[in-house]
């Protein structure tokens, strides 16, 4: 059995990505403290992911191994860490709502199934995105992609398995769960399903395939994206799941409607910034450090933020997004936790 151990470099928390361009001048709390925080949350998440996945003889050994192969590659775990941090922020905020969970540890525990489900879904999306019929990539998270190692058929089934297990995990609940917690869980299931489906990520992937000419259907003209189309595609393809991650944590911690809405607005800006940085790294990054093939967007003629706006303006757009996100947290009395640190992590990442 493949254990869920990281094969990626230690987390980068260098807040230099935009600083040397004079766009970002300050960060949140201590960098070293945040590095410790990320390591601790990753360890907890990896252990929870391992517990949540079926093992033989419950399921065939081959598909179990294939699912773990992609999860064990590590990745940044941004989405599950974001979910846990949102739950923490709600629990610490005096404006979080009367029903909120006051204990940080309890808030994280309540949010952990959603955090794991989101990582299952994100990993499934990468497995399918790398297939020859989609992006046709051979490198992901610093390792050969799943279909290169196990073949297209098992890669498809492993992705299907991860997606399905995400909702099985969310549906189970805890023994003795209260009706209030069960109601929160149902809200989370609905939000994650919408984010992962045709309204969200799947819809964004379809727009991507159509706009790049990967899919050519008789009678259907290829779609040409403009600035609004690019923003819409990425709000679905990347942003929807990031928003669902933050909102799920806030809901499971018992945040008020106003608090959940504020975290959703924060995460919408975070998702935009994440995609802009991704596009910049595809231009400026190195495949070995990125853990995936650099320069593929330009080679395939994809419309990206740097292609549309140029690198300097793209950096400015990312910085503006982080500034909006920070104001949203401050206005909602949510600035005391790790959410803003995560935003700085996203904008400063090198992979």
Structure tokens at 256: 């008020």
The predicted pLDDT at position 142 comes to: 81
38 burial level (CB within 10 Å; 0-12, 13-18, 19+): buried
- φ/ψ bin of 141: left (φ > 0), alpha (ψ from -120 to 50), beta (otherwise): left
The predicted pLDDT at position 293 comes to: 64
Output the CA torsion sign for 70, 74, 76, 81: positive
pTM to 2 decimals? Answer: 0.88
- φ/ψ bin of 213: left (φ > 0), alpha (ψ from -120 to 50), beta (otherwise): left
Angstrom distance (rounded) from CA 234 to CA 81: 21
CA 18 to chain centre: 21
- Tens digit of pLDDT for each residue in 55-98? 999 999 999 999 999 998 878 899 999 999 999 999 998 876 76
The predicted pLDDT at position 73 comes to: 84
The predicted pLDDT at position 101 comes to: 79
The predicted pLDDT at position 288 comes to: 52
Residue 143: its H or E element: strand 143-144
The predicted pLDDT at position 118 comes to: 98
Angstrom distance (rounded) from CA 87 to CA 248: 8
The predicted pLDDT at position 299 comes to: 62
Angstrom distance (rounded) from CA 317 to CA 168: 38
pLDDT < 50 regions, the chain:
1-3, 5-30
Residue of 97, 137, 63 lying closest to 334 (CA atoms) = 97
């Amino acid at each position: 059995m493949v254990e869920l151990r990281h094969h990626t470099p230690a987390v980068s928390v260098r807040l230099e990505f935009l600083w040397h361009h004079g766009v970002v001048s300050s960060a949140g709390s201590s960098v070293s403290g945040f590095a410790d925080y990320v390591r601790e949350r990753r360890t907890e998440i990896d252990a929870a992911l391992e517990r949540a996945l079926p093992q033989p003889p419950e399921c065939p050994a081959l598909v179990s191994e294939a699912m773990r192969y992609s999860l064990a590659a590590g990745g940044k775990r941004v989405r599950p860490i974001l979910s846990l941090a949102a739950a923490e922020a709600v629990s610490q905020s005096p404006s979080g709502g009367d029903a909120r969970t006051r204990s940080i540890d309890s808030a994280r525990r309540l949010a952990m199934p959603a955090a794991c489900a989101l990582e299952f879904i994100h990993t499934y999306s990468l497995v399918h995105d790398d297939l020859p019929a989609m992006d046709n990539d051979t490198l992901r998270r610093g390792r050969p992609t799943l279909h290169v190692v196990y073949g297209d058929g098992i890669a498809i089934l492993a992705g299907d398995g991860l997606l399905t297990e995400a909702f099985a995990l969310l549906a189970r609940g805890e023994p003795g769960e209260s009706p209030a917690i069960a109601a929160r869980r149902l809200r989370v299931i609905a939000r994650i399903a919408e984010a992962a489906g045709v309204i969200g990520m799947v819809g964004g992937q379809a727009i991507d395939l159509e706009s790049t000419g990967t899919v050519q259907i008789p009678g259907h003209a290829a779609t040409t994206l403009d600035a609004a189309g690019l923003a819409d595609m990425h709000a679905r393809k990347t942003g929807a799941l990031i928003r669902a991650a933050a909102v799920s944590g806030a809901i499971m911690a018992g945040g008020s409607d106003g608090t959940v809405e504020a975290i959703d607005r924060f995460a919408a800006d975070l998702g935009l910034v994440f995609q802009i940085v991704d596009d910049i790294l595809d231009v400026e990054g190195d495949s070995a450090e990125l853990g995936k093939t650099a320069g593929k967007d330009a080679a395939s003629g994809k419309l990206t933020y740097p292609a549309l706006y140029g690198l300097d303006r793209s950096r400015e757009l990312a910085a503006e997004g982080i500034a909006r996100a920070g104001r949203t947290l401050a206005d909602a009395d949510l600035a005391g936790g790790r959410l803003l640190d995560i935003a700085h992590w996203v904008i400063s990442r090198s992979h």
